[in-house]
Chains A and B, each alone.
Chain A
Amino acid sequence: MPVQETNHISYQRSFYIEGGNFNYAGIVSTSIKSILKQMDFPSNVVRKCSIVCYESEINVVSYARKGVVNLTINSNTIQIEVIDEGPGIPNIDLAMQEGYSTATQKIREMGFGAGMGLHNIESYSDAFIISSELGKGTRLLMTINIKQ
């Protein structure tokens, strides 16, 4: 019988995001990037994690009241879970479509809100799960494989 590969948790940390505060938008992603870089993960792994984290962080700041990012490093994967308290997404299929956006002028001034965010997150993740409840919030789970 083959030995099953284990996927032990080796690092776990949570980061908090304040909704609506564009001054700090991206600060969590910068921290996570620097942690992963210090841990010597391959640059494309760091890049994928940083991008999915940053797009998610921008979404939380743009649409939600607050959010938390849970970074979990296992032996085979890096998981980034982003849970927000906010309005939720009424139609996930529509939100996932490239170009679909409900962004305000403020968000567009920041250089975002072109309806690329969720699409980018999905395309940079090796596995991506999204769930949302109207009036409660949205949860994203992005998994990046350490061996690309």
Chain B
Amino acid sequence: MKLRDVKEILDADVIVGEDKLDMEVNTAFGADLMSDVLSFAKSGSILLTGLTNDQVIRTADILDIAAIVLVRGKRANADTINLAKELKIPILSTKYILFETAGRLYAKGMVGCVEKVDNASARN
């Protein structure tokens, strides 16, 4: 699906990256713990999170995360938004909770970037 579809499905606001809504995104990872994101998230995935600080943007940049979806109606502060603009990482904000966000995307065909963590290939 396209990032535009993610926006529609989640009734999300686009905070950064209005020009990137045609980007193709098909996998996702959801966590508030950036250490877990670094362990398991795959490049090109979208990141669903309730954490809104600079480290979310840095982590997304390090991993080449396609876009960040802030859940539970969270908003990032102006500095964090500027960092995302600088690093060209789209941010969407949805009022759905993490569970609903993931479920709604999954129902429309998006899958996890890894299914289970006992798969050693998660780190490669």
Contact = CB atoms under 8 A, between A and B. Distances in A.
Contact of B53 (A110, A115, A124): A110
Contacts, number: 74
Contact of B55 (A26, A50, A51, A114): A26
B5 interface: no
Among B38, B39, B51, B124: residue with most chain A CB under 10 A: B38
A58 B59 CA distance: 11
Interface residues of B, number: 23
A43 B64 CA distance: 10
Given A47-B64, A54-B62, A116 B124 contact: no
B62 A29 contact: yes
Chain A interface main SS type: helix
Interface string A68-112: 000000000000000000000000000000000000000001111
Contacts of B51: 111
Contacts of A23: 54
A126 B62 CA distance: 18
A54 B123 contact: no
A90 B53 CA distance: 31
Given A44-B124, A110-B34, A111-B32, A26 B39 contact: no
Contacts of B22: none
Among A109, A110, A116, A123: residue with most chain B CB under 10 A: A110
A131 interface: no
Given A30-B61, A114-B35, A116-B35, 9 more contacts: A22-B54, A27-B58, A30-B87, A111-B35, A111-B37, A112-B33, A115-B35, A116-B33, A116-B39
Interface of B: 32-39, 43, 51, 53-56, 58-59, 61-64, 87, 123-124
Interface of A: 22-23, 25-27, 29-30, 33, 43-44, 47, 50-51, 54-55, 58, 109-117, 120, 123-124
